[in-house]
Amino acid sequence: MRNGGRRFGWRWVVVALGLALLVALPVVVAALPAGDRDTSAAELRARVLASTDQPFSGYAISTGGLTLPVSDALTPVADLLSDQTTMRAWYRGETDWRVDVVTATGETGTHRDAAGTWTWDYADQRASRGSAPDLALPTAPDLLPSALGVRLLSEATDAELSRVDPVRVAGRDALGLRYTPADEAASVSAVNVYVDEQTGLPLRVVVRSADTTIPALDTRFLDLDTATPTAATTAFSPPADASISSDRDLTDVDLGRGDRAALPDVLAGLTRRSFDGVPAQIGVYGSGITVLSVTPLPGRSSQGLRAQLAATPGAVVDDLGVRITSGPLALMVAGTSQRQGGGGVYLLAGTVTLDALGAAATDLQNGTGTS
């Protein structure tokens, strides 16, 4: 037992030294000139979307610049968006990969296979099995540049794309692509995606909002190898003595009971759309990176959340409800309970402006739009 503890300690000393060297590496290579190519913005986006078959392994680091007032249940999400997350990734394909999150106190690995995911907490020897649902809260693997770049560019139009100067990322030439959302409701001012010239893999993604010079999110590879990892590296079977549980997904969330007014087809000028896995009570509006979700809130939870948002510096409190922003993310509790003669209480959340939240709340209050 004592020897095992000593090996554990030395292991993390080695990891810490390795990460320190990797973090320092981009400072050196960034000084080298980056090669550019005569590639159009639309062509570069197409290369990004085609990169999901490209195998790789490497270290990545994600830095969030947001501060969200959330409950304990959403603390892991808030940490992802406000802190620094260090990841080691091995990717063989869309349903065969592994991402380890390394912290000062331990390591947690997520393994993807054809049936879902395994999450393994090395320190607690605890495994959890997930089904990889269509609707889920973001986790560390979602912040890898390779995954985030594809997701953010998937609905960008040619008119919203432009080229920017190349940079060096992880020792590679990375071609610059900028996505500037055209919708007036957008709170994201620009997304820069830096793409590996050889493979089309996004190597760095920087998300900015108009009201701050600090990026809302900056995720990049520090080191990258495009050789195919071995199957044994990504595979996982829980040890016989491990504690095993099942992950909850968002379809398990209690949205309350009772009739509510049907959500309209349009809110704040954004068109409602449907996604696999989204419960019928939730409305999703917008496209690309400009998205607004509307979720009915049970009365027992809406009061506490309303008070929590109202106590946030910069909160707007008026007859429509209470709304806040943190970088490009916006949250609002709108409406009144049916017991008080209202049409229901809703949580509005998305990458839209405060004005867009107010307009959406007004539409809900007035029952405008076509249901």
Quote the percentage of the chain above a pLDDT of 70.
75
Least confident window among 24-28, 142-146, 166-170, 304-308:
24-28
- 70, 74, 78, 81 alpha-carbon torsion, rounded to 10°: -130
| Confidence (pLDDT) at 221 | 97
Across 313-339, average pLDDT: 84
| Confidence (pLDDT) at 18 | 41
* Top-confidence residue, 34 or 208: 208
Structure token pair of residue 115: 């049936």
Q: pLDDT (tens digit, 9 = 90+) per residue, 328-340?
A: 888 888 987 655 4
Q: Is the pLDDT of residue 113 over 60?
A: yes
The number of residues making up the chain comes to 371
Q: Is the pLDDT of residue 47 over 70?
A: yes
* Top-confidence residue, 335 or 178: 178
Whether the Cβ atoms of residue 119 and residue 131 lie closer than 8 Å to each other: no
* Top-confidence residue, 226 or 371: 226
96 three-state secondary structure: strand
| Confidence (pLDDT) at 19 | 38
Tell me the backbone φ, ψ of residue 142, rounded to 5 degrees.
-70, -20
Long-range contacts of range 238-245, CB-CB < 8 Å, 24 or more positions apart? 238/118, 238/120, 238/127, 239/125, 241/125, 242/120, 242/125, 242/126, 242/127, 243/124, 243/125, 243/126, 243/127, 244/126, 244/127, 244/128, 244/129, 245/126, 245/127, 245/128, 245/129
Whole-model pTM: value is 0.83
Q: Is the pLDDT of residue 196 over 80?
A: yes
> pLDDT confidence of 164, banded at 50, 70, 90?
very high
Mean model confidence pLDDT for the chain: 80
Q: What is the DSSP letter of 352?
A: B
Give the count of beta carbons closer than 10 Å to the beta carbon of residue 358: 19
Q: Where are the alpha helices (DSSP H) in 208-353?
A: 231-234, 299-310
The helix (run of H) or strand (run of E) holding residue 269 is: none
Q: Where are the alpha helices (DSSP H) in the chain?
A: 2-29, 41-49, 75-82, 145-153, 231-234, 299-310, 354-366
DSSP 148-199: HHHHHHTT--GGGEEEEEEEEETTEEEEEEEE----TTB-EEEEEEEEETTT
Across 42-51, average pLDDT: 95
130 three-state secondary structure: strand
288 conformational bin, left if phi > 0, alpha if psi -120 to 50, beta if neither = left
Whether the Cβ atoms of residue 203 and residue 196 lie closer than 8 Å to each other: yes
Across 216-225, average pLDDT: 94
CA-derived radius of gyration, the chain: 22
Across 89-111, average pLDDT: 92
Q: pLDDT (tens digit, 9 = 90+) per residue, 247-303?
A: 655 555 555 544 455 789 999 999 998 877 667 777 889 988 898 888 887 766 678
| Confidence (pLDDT) at 257 | 47
51 three-state secondary structure: helix
* Top-confidence residue, 227 or 339: 227
Tell me the backbone φ, ψ of residue 136, rounded to 5 degrees.
-155, 155
Domains, the chain: 2-242 (2.50.20.10), 253-366 (3.40.1000)
Q: Across the strands, what pairs with 195?
A: 175, 202
> pLDDT confidence of 344, banded at 50, 70, 90?
confident
Q: Is the pLDDT of residue 169 over 90?
A: yes
Greatest mean pLDDT among 30-44, 165-179, 247-261 lies in 165-179
Q: Is the pLDDT of residue 314 over 60?
A: yes
